[in-house]
Amino acid sequence: MKVLVTGGAGFIGGHVVDAYQREGFDVVVVDDLSTGHRRNLNPGARFYQMDIRDPAVADLLAEERPEVLNHHAAQMDVRRSVADPLFDAEVNLIGFLNLLEAGVRNGLRRVIFASSGGTVYGAEQNIPAREGDPTAPICPYGVTKLTGELYLHYYRHAYGLEYAALRYANVYGPRQDPHGEAGVVAIFTGRLLAGEVAVINGDGKQTRDYVFVGDVARANVLAARAAFSGEINIGSGVETDVNRLYAVLRAQVGVDTAPQYGPTKLGEQARSALAPQRAAEVLGWRPEVPLAEGLRQTVEYFRSCGAATGRSAER
């Protein structure tokens, strides 16, 4: 089976490509390297450096004719989406539609879409949120992810294009860039290993559902082969607040540095966790890596590669 992975040089996308390669897929990668890195590219995949908004994407899909599109390329910075919603929509909607239009003309059968369970349900989500719960995102990034899901519903109705919208919890793990598309785990780890102070936004009581990137990559393999079309949460269902996360990471690194506290960031939710029951039912997927073990692997990765200091605030 041939799969085209957009964003395949990114943190999550790179792990997804590796997982597809191990399972014997014929893998094509598209990435403009604006946030991705060549070091994340799997040498067994064919790589095209290209912006998903480029009209030449249509020529690429006509040449490669993938059966599956795995879409991870995105503007994924919540804060940038608030500051520049036009750019967010241009990448996350126009770029995605560029791929879908080319796909339906060239034999595409299935789309695996990296959505955001942390944002599409909104601030008033049930805990843990289920796929049938109301969606009311409070940031432009969440709006574009939810709109991407709606477009997939339309393309299935109009063209028979099957899809799985994987609503990710907070993904963390080795290779996450503490400078670019970083989450709080990468930022804290980078700063603690560098002997610097990390900043927690707000009071640190905000919660997230942390899921290990290896578990996420496995979900993408299962989703490519599944018959189900619709939205699927990829998370643990467990809330962990930022203060607790920092304490565990500090212990893993072996330092006693206290954090600093800064103002709460615009668009940030107070709580988030995703119920994973549908993933178990339709994919046979469950998270396998406990948080403490995933954080240990992450710290060891950063330590082994001499990761530089991350940003000064969590995201």
* Whole-structure pTM value: 0.93
CATH number of 2-170+212-234: 3.40.50.720
- Which top CATH class is 173-209+237-273+289-304? alpha beta
| Predicted pLDDT of residue 153 | 98
User: Catalytic pick from 141, 163, 168, 246?
Assistant: 141
Cα gap 300→315, rounded to integer Å: 21
User: Element (H or E) spanning 46, and its range?
Assistant: strand 46-49
Asked if 74 contacts 117 with a C-beta cutoff of 8 angstroms, the reply is no
Quick one: how far is CA 247 from the chain centroid?
24
Cα gap 22→98, rounded to integer Å: 29
Can you spell out the DSSP letters for 230-279? EEEEES-S--EEHHHHHHHHHHHHT--PPPEEEPPPTT--S---B--HHH
| Predicted pLDDT of residue 267 | 62
Asked if 261 is an active-site residue, the reply is: no
Series of mean pLDDT values for 10-residue runs along the chain (315 residues): 97 98 98 94 97 97 98 91 94 98 98 95 90 94 97 98 97 85 84 93 94 98 97 97 96 94 81 96 97 96 71 34
Q: Break the chain into its structural domains and give their ranges.
A: 2-170+212-234, 173-209+237-273+289-304
| Predicted pLDDT of residue 270 | 86
